[in-house]
Amino acid sequence: MVRVISVDTYRAAVVELLGTAPPKALPLAECAGLVLAEDVPAGVSLPPFDNSAMDGYAVRAVDVASATATTPVELPVAEDIPAGRTDVPPLLPGTAHRIMTGAPMPPGADAVVKVEDTDGGTEKVSIREPAPVGTHLRRTGEDVAAGTIALHAGTVLGPAQLGLAAAVGLDRLTVHAPLRVLVVSTGSELVTPPQELRHGQIYESNSIMLAAGIRALGCAVEVVRSVVDDVAEFRAVIEPRLAETDLVVTSGGVSAGAYEVVKDSLTGAGVEFVKVAMQPGGPQGNGRWHGVPVVTLPGNPVSVLVSFEVFLRPAILTALGHRQVDRSRVRARLTEALRSPAGRRQFRRGFYSHHDGEVTGEVGPRGGPGSHLLAAFAQANCLIELPEDVVDAPEGSEVDVLLLPTRDFL
């Protein structure tokens, strides 16, 4: 008899199955979107040396204190210091060095006059504005002090964090290793272009959805687009790939019929098949096959995507070290009445909108509850979550909505 379990219990089981990915040092270019596995101390200060914030002249503040437009101060220009010059001669009293943005301040200088406040001279310069001590000067370590933690374990590596790692001189970071995920669609009815459809066949779509969703989380995905409903064939295609795989995700072949290839292949081999009290996405399975975590999703396309959202996405994000693994949840008023099966949590595809000044937004369903209605999902921007004890959700009542922003989804 198939065990019936709650959405929350099943989600916890999938999260536990995937565990936490081990740390791995990767080049910065491969770290975008991944999570730091350890603290990163700064090997250098930022800025690494006192430098100019402006193109202009390095001076001693005291030498230009009296400068005005009508009584400019004239100083000889003793040196030219472009950015990148590494031998910086000291500034003698009563002189100026021409200096560019990012160039090191000469010892003895304590301010910069920007070029717009001068005549721009190269032999001698006429300065029309005073520059108090510290003017246009960027001090060593004012951004990051050497030896302090530049990035903490658990940080999600976006452009700014990767830029900072590069700025403190790193070319690799230790992250939670991206999972290598094998996505497998099963079903003898599945074909792919350019093959023409014969009556009884359909174009395969689940692997495309799953691969897009899983890649967006930072994983490496290999896809087997269709395996026929044959146990020997299923094993022959998948088993050789297991050594290079951290997670297998299958679709189809898990319900109650006669040709359930996934169920028939993996029952008794370490994978348990259960019925989760939800709709869609009821028939599910998970476990380890030859030691590799396997999550088996039902074949209906909407069930696949809802199962990805409810179970796989949070489990993969947790494995990758993310702390924020849930979709944003908001309350919204239903624009039409919905019905939900008693004792099951229903996830309906919806469109959420929120107008300025409103406390709650509103949400309307896209398509019916049928788990084959993929076109309706393609018009949706959220899932409407109706709890197990809700049977009738009247128009105007408030419901929970899980937002699916398109950019994050992909």
Ligand X SMILES: Nc1nc2c(c(=O)[nH]1)N[C@H]1C(S)=C(S)[C@@H](COP(=O)(O)OP(=O)(O)OC[C@H]3O[C@@H](n4cnc5c(N)ncnc54)[C@H](O)[C@@H]3O)O[C@H]1N2
Shortest distance in whole angstroms from residue 337 CB to ligand MOO: 20
Partners of 283 in the β-ladder: 275
Q: What angle do CA 119, 123, 129 make, to 5 degrees?
A: 35
Q: Is 188 in the site for ligand X (CB under 6 A)?
A: no
By C-alpha distance, which of 80, 18, 114, 112 is closest to 313?
18
- CA distance to 249, 305, 352, per residue, from 378 (Å): 22, 11, 14
Binding segment (CB under 6 A) for ligand MOO, from list 174-182, 274-282, 317-325, 336-344 = 274-282
Selected range binding ligand MOO among 7-15, 43-51, 295-303, 310-318, rule: CB under 6 A: 295-303
d(C-alpha 19, C-alpha 293), whole Å: 10
Distance CA 264, CA 223 (A): 21
Decide: is 190 part of the binding site for ligand X (CB under 6 A). Answer: yes
Tokens 């297998």 identify what position? 248
C-beta of 110 vs 204, nearer to ligand X: 204
By CB under 6 A, name the one of 95, 118, 251, 340 that touches ligand X.
251
CB atoms closer than 10 angstroms to residue 179 = 21
282 touching ligand MOO, by CB under 6 A: yes
52 binds ligand MOO (CB under 6 A): no
CB closer to ligand X, 217 vs 278: 278
How many CB atoms sit inside 10 A of residue 118's CB? 24
Q: Which stretch binds ligand MOO (CB under 6 A): 245-253, 273-281, 342-350, 390-398?
A: 273-281
- Is 260 a binding residue for ligand X by CB under 6 A? The answer is yes
The H or E element that residue 173 is part of is: strand 172-176
Contact with ligand MOO (CB under 6 A): which of 52, 135, 300, 340? 300
**Secondary structure letter of residue 239 according to DSSP:** G
Smaller CB separation from ligand X, 204 or 362: 204
CB 346 within 8 A of CB 389: no
Q: Which amino acid is at 48?
A: P
Cα–Cα distance between 205 and 192 in angstroms, integer?
9
What part of residues 287-306 is at the interface with ligand X (CB under 6 A)?
A: 298-301, 303
For residue 299, the Cα-to-chain-centroid distance in whole angstroms is 27
The one among 72, 178, 218, 253 contacting ligand X by CB under 6 A: 253
Candidate list 7, 91, 254, 295; residue touching ligand X; CB under 6 A? 254
Q: In the complex with ligand MOO, which residue's Cβ is closer, 154 or 341?
A: 341
Size of the site for ligand MOO (CB under 6 A): 8
- Toward ligand X, which CB reaches closer, 246 or 260? 260
Q: Can you read off the two tokens belonging to residue 22? A: 């081990």
185 binds, among ligand X, ligand MOO, none (CB under 5 to 8 A by kind): ligand X
* Separation between Cα atoms, residue 57 and residue 124, nearest integer Å: 11
Provide φ and ψ at 290, rounded to 5°. Answer: 50, 35
Task: Pick the binder of ligand X from 104, 283, 293, 367 (CB under 6 A).
Answer: 283
Answer whether the bond into residue 387 is a cis peptide, omega within 30°.
no
User: Please, what is the minimum distance in Å from the beta carbon of residue 281 to ligand X?
Assistant: 7
Alpha-carbon span 268 to 274, nearest angstrom: 13
For the bound state, the minimum distance from the C-beta of residue 281 to ligand MOO, rounded and expressed in Å, comes to: 5
Phi first, then psi, for residue 282 (nearest 5°) are -60, -55
Assess 285 for contact with ligand X (CB under 6 A).
no
- What's the min distance (Å) between Cβ of 297 and ligand MOO? 9
Cα 362 from chain centroid (whole Å)? 28
Choices 38-46, 58-66, 204-212, 375-383; region in contact with ligand X by CB under 6 A: 204-212
Residues that bind ligand MOO in the complex, under the rule CB under 6 A: 279-282, 298, 300, 303, 371
Residues that bind ligand X in the complex, under the rule CB under 6 A: 185, 187, 189-190, 202, 204-207, 251-256, 260, 280, 282-283, 298-301, 303, 371
